[in-house]
């Protein structure tokens, strides 16, 4: 990066609203978005991240920066009124922040998304018939085959939950795991269809009107109570979760940020139109069964107290959205623009498949670690004598700025004095460590530390492990 770019990035990160404060959860202020610890601004984003580095620290920080950049194009207001956040409102949408945003965004997008060019292999699909055959084979392979009509996803509302949904129910702390899943959904669901809105303007034929129909459904056809983000909030509230936009900012996983930013990127740069339309088609098709499964998981974890209307609504309406997007967007654009755009449509589906696979692996690794912090404390104690001589010691107090982070390698976190709460998922019951405890934090696992005594000292060292240590 040039010196000017480094300075611009540092200036953007240094904005008051992007620096961490002492609070774990951020309520009543959608403009407060901590990017990371103070050294985050010094990361080098000039060399794009690879697939192997998908969960690295650079992607986490770039993800937060890009989310801030994209959402400053949206209207965001605190639910309880602007009075307590007016100064931050003025700063978030102000000239200087927007100038810095526009300077850093292209470089961050290259850093975050270039790996897709290498990681995604696009199959040779060129004709309309090939596109139909390809798409139906892909969704069938993903567990969402067409129904008897051949154009709607088949949904089995009684199917036993499998995969990640089952993994959540089998956790020792299923409510925390289910909550972390809802929080990842909240990153998109509380501004649902806002990225889509960028593709509604202009003039591009019947597909534009078809997209608007879906947008209208997402926004409850003008009724606030039926708006999907509204019923998503009701689902959060029913299980005791906060409903403010980005209240759980510190707990978005790296993969969740990259996934949501991908759609904002494609709609911000209109050259991404065809990838976007195909990606939306693929997701809308999968969502029908996916949200039926999510509703069953939530009821298994929370019982009758969960309001799962949001899941039921999507399990129903995404049968129709799957057909509408398949017939009118994917095949519609292919019919109108022909072989010129079909490879790009296929690319959107292949990108999405990869991001879903990487995101699922990230989430499952996070809940597996967070669910077993006792075991990782025992492992840390056993490994302590083998740690490298690269200790970094920090003093924490209750008002020390809090921000979650990931390590680039396995680390041992040793409490040398005082008590420390470890936040590995968003919970009001964090894992408490005391003096002498050593916690193993695997690379790429999101975590935050907060003093639970008037003062605590923490030493972090690198540990090199082999597969036999796992």
SS (H, E, C) 147-210: CCCCCCECCCCCCCCCHHHHHHHCCCCHHHHHHHHHHHHHHHHCCCCHHHHCCCCCCCCHHHHH
Q: How confident is the model at residue 319 (pLDDT cuts 50, 70, 90)?
A: very high
pLDDT in tens, 41-78: 789 999 999 999 999 999 999 999 999 999 999 999 99
Q: How confident is the model at residue 332 (pLDDT cuts 50, 70, 90)?
A: very high
Tell me the mean pLDDT in the region 86-95.
Answer: 98
Tell me the mean pLDDT in the region 370-386.
Answer: 96
pLDDT in tens, 124-162: 999 999 999 999 999 999 999 999 999 999 999 888 899
Q: How confident is the model at residue 465 (pLDDT cuts 50, 70, 90)?
A: confident
Tell me the mean pLDDT in the region 208-231.
Answer: 95
Distance between CA 320 and CA 330 in Å, rounded?
Answer: 14
Distance between CA 427 and CA 292 in Å, rounded?
Answer: 26
- The pLDDT of residue 157 is 87
User: Given a cut of 90, is residue 352 above it in pLDDT?
Assistant: yes
Neighbouring-strand partners of residue 458: 394, 415
Tell me the mean pLDDT in the region 368-385.
Answer: 96
- The pLDDT of residue 1 is 67
User: Given a cut of 70, is residue 318 above it in pLDDT?
Assistant: yes
- The pLDDT of residue 462 is 97
- The pLDDT of residue 469 is 57
- % of residues, the chain, pLDDT over 70: 99
With beta carbons less than 8 A apart as the criterion, state whether 144 and 153 touch: yes
Q: How confident is the model at residue 223 (pLDDT cuts 50, 70, 90)?
A: very high
Tell me the mean pLDDT in the region 196-219.
Answer: 96
User: Given a cut of 80, is residue 467 above it in pLDDT?
Assistant: no
User: Given a cut of 80, is residue 424 above it in pLDDT?
Assistant: yes
CA atoms in the 13 A half-sphere facing the CB of 216: 7
Query: Where do the H-state alpha helices sit in 47-148?
Result: 57-71, 86-92, 95-113, 115-119, 128-141
């Amino acid at each position: 990066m040039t010196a000017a770019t480094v300075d611009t990035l540092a200036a953007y990160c240094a904005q008051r609203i992007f620096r961490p404060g002492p609070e774990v959860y951020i309520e009543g202020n959608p403009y407060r978005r901590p990017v990371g610890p103070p050294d985050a601004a010094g990361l080098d984003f000039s060399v794009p991240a690879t697939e192997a580095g998908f969960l690295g620290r650079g992607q986490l920080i770039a993800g937060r920066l890009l989310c801030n950049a994209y959402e400053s194009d949206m209207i965001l207001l605190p639910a309880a009124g602007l009075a307590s956040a007016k100064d931050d409102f003025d700063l978030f949408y102000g000239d200087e922040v927007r100038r810095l945003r526009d300077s850093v965004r292209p470089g961050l997008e290259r850093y975050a998304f270039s790996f897709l060019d290498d990681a995604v292999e696009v199959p040779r699909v060129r004709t309309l018939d090939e596109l139909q055959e390809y798409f139906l084979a892909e969704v069938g392979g993903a567990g969402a085959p067409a129904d008897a009509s051949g154009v709607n996803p088949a949904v089995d509302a009684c199917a036993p939950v499998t995969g990640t949904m089952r993994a959540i129910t089998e956790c020792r702390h299923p409510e925390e795991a289910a909550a972390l899943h809802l929080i990842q959904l909240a990153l998109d669901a509380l501004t649902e269809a806002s990225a889509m809105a960028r593709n509604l303007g202009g003039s591009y034929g019947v597909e534009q009107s078809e997209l608007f129909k879906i947008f209208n459904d997402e926004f409850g056809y003008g009724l606030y109570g039926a708006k999907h983000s509204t019923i998503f909030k009701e689902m959060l509230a029913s299980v005791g979760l906060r409903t403010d936009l980005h209240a759980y900012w510190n707990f978005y996983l790296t993969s969740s940020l990259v996934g949501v930013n991908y759609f904002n990127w494609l709609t911000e740069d209109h050259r991404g139109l065809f990838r976007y339309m195909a990606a939306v088609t693929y997701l809308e098709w999968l969502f029908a069964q996916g949200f039926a499964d999510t509703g069953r998981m939530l009821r298994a974890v929370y019982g009758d107290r969960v309001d799962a209307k949001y899941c039921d609504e999507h399990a129903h309406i995404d049968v129709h959205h799957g057909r509408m997007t398949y017939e009118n967007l994917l095949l519609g654009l292919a019919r109108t623009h022909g072989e010129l755009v079909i490879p790009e449509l296929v690319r959107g589906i292949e990108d999405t498949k990869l991001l879903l696979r990487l995101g699922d692996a990230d989430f499952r690794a996070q809940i597996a670690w967070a669910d077993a912090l006792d075991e990782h404390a025992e492992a840390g104690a056993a490994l302590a004598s083998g740690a490298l001589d690269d200790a970094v010691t920090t003093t924490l107090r209750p008002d020390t700025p809090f921000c979650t982070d990931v390590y680039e390698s396995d680390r041992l976190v040793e409490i040398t004095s005082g008590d420390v709460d470890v936040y590995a998922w968003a919970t009001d019951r964090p894992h408490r460590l005391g003096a002498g405890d050593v916690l193993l934090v695997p690379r790429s696992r999101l975590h935050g530390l907060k003093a639970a005594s008037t003062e605590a000292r923490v030493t972090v060292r690198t540990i090199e492990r082999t597969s036999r240590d796992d």
